[in-house]
Amino acid sequence: MVAQLPKVEAQSPQSLQVEVEAWAAQLEEVYARIAPRFARAEPRQRVLSYIKGLLSSCQRKNGWQLAELMGEMTPDGMQRLLSNAKWDENSVRDELQSYVVEHLGDASAIGVLDETGFLKQGKKSVGVKRQYSGTAGRVENCQIGVFLGYATPKGFAFLDREIYLPEEWVNDQQRREEAGVPESVKFATKPQLARVMLERAKAAKVPLTWITADTVYGNDRRLREWLEENEQAYVLAVACTERVWVDDSAGPVQVAAEQVIADLPAESWQRLSCGVGSKGLREFDWVWIELVSQQVGWSRWLLARRKLSDPTQLAYFIVFAPSSTSMSEVVRVAGARWSIEMGFEITKDELGLDHYEVRSWRAWYRHVTLVLLAHAVLTVIRTQALVTTTQKGVATS
């Protein structure tokens, strides 16, 4: 088994040994955290093998491939871990959250909400139907998972996950029973699933200074109202047609976001970077205007982003934050949404997030939770390696 060690510059045998030891230490820490969640020895031992398999160089991370990697003749053991073994995937998720906060927690942390699609064949996989998948960029037969990511200066990891169950699934008792959907599960929109995850993070006292997300979540007024009631700062993308309240000479009026921005003078725009991408700084032109707000000490703004290469391409955001917040800070938060897209890319390409071949509700949550845990380990190791490399550079300069 070859673990995916952090990509750093060529190392001496001594420094490589340090990296391997650090890798082993993180796996040991994670295992120590989750092992008490498994009452029996067999699944307790197998879950460590499963995580090691996810972190290995094995190209496909399905039951057969992981079993072969472990020297097993059949995938029965791996499939049993996901489908029938007695353990609570939600308590493991709680351990994931505490591990992420302990290693990556920061006062400026940003919670990032987004969904991703899992292309599937047939009709048996829980929640599958023909629906729009941002992953494919079109309508496909797929499952949709909603995720809460955690972006800090120390790195990015995932905190939580929920599968989106379409109404036709919720109302089909036979399909529910076949997929093992709990009776307590009712229909919930993606923003409602996002709120459930945010409520869990709040209850766990996860430090989250900001929340950011695309229009799927920003267009949901009830989610925005809940965040404001809890004095949770946010930068949420909205449609150009979203109506907002602005002050007029005659008093507050409601106007479409695109019209508010169109009425602003050209000199109001500022060129700012919202972070570093694969091609360098991600620079755009930005403008914002304060909206009507009645919460003491807090303000709302309408923020717009304009593409440099095509000024006709604009994106709009509603911002809720302490009144002293600067535009540069808000732009930084808006840019953090790209971190979860990179997270999806890594978990799918390197860790097998979408490689599972199970159909049930519980198996989906178990596989996805273990992948997110493996991703957190990978992030922590890479972050530690970067810190070590930086310290060595400073010491030799």
For residue 48, count CB atoms less than 10 angstroms from its CB and return exposed for 0-12, middle for 13-18, buried for 19 or more: middle
281 and 354 share one domain:
no
Q: What is the mean pLDDT of residues 21-25?
A: 78
Which whole number is the average pLDDT over 186-198? 98
Summarize pLDDT for 347-385 with one digit per residue, the tens.
Answer: 999 999 999 999 999 999 999 999 999 999 999 998 887
371 with 285, same domain: the answer is: no
* Residue 313: domain span: 231-336
- Looking at residue 355, the DSSP 8-state letter turns out to be -
Measured distance CA(34)–CA(53) in Å, rounded? 17
Which residues are paired to 303 by β-bridges?
A: 288, 317
Structural domain contains residue 78: yes
Is 220 among the domain residues?
no
* Chain centre to alpha carbon of residue 68: 30
Using 50, 70 and 90 to split pLDDT, how confident is the model at 299?
very high
Average pLDDT across the chain, whole number: 91
The mean pLDDT of 118-133, rounded to a whole number, is 94
Q: Which residue among 336, 351, 386 closes a domain?
A: 336
Q: Give the HSE-up count for residue 299: Cα atoms under 13 Å, Cβ half-sphere.
A: 15
Structural domain count, the chain:
2
**134 and 74: one domain?**
yes
**Do 112 and 134 sit in the same domain of this protein?**
yes
Q: Is residue 221 part of a domain?
A: no
In a domain, 226, yes or no: no
Torsion, Cα 267 273 277 281, to 10 degrees, reads 90
Nearest to 232 by CA among 278, 185, 194: 194
Residue 319 counted as domain residue = yes
**Nearest 5°: phi and psi at 113?**
-105, 135
Same domain, 75 and 162: yes
219 within some domain: no
pLDDT over threshold 60, residue 114: yes
pTM greater than 0.75 (yes/no): yes
Residue 208 sits in the same domain as residue 239: no
Show the CA angle centred on residue 357, arms to residues 353 and 363, nearest 5°: 75
Alpha carbon distance 198, 47 (integer Å): 27
Q: State which of 300, 318, 336 marks the end of a domain.
A: 336
**In whole angstroms, what is the distance from residue 70 CA to residue 48 CA?**
11
pLDDT band at residue 392 using 50, 70 and 90 as cut-offs: low
Q: How far apart are CA 268 and CA 222, in angstroms?
A: 31
For residue 275, what pLDDT band results from cuts at 50, 70 and 90?
confident
Q: Taking 80 as the threshold, does the pLDDT of residue 395 lie above it? A: no
285-295 pLDDT, tens digit per residue, is 999 999 999 89
User: Could you tell me if 205 and 235 lie in one domain?
Assistant: no
- The structure tokens listed for 15 are 């420094």
- Whether 238 and 189 map to the same domain: the answer is no
What percent of the chain stands above pLDDT 70?
92
The verdict on residue 54 lying in a domain is yes
What average pLDDT score do residues 93-109 get? Answer: 96
Q: What share of the chain is helix, strand, coil (3-state, %, to 5)?
A: 45, 25, 30
Q: Please tell me whether residues 192 and 270 are part of one structural domain.
A: no
Q: Does one domain contain both 51 and 149?
A: yes
Residue-wise pLDDT for 333-355, tens only, equals: 999 999 999 999 999 999 999 99
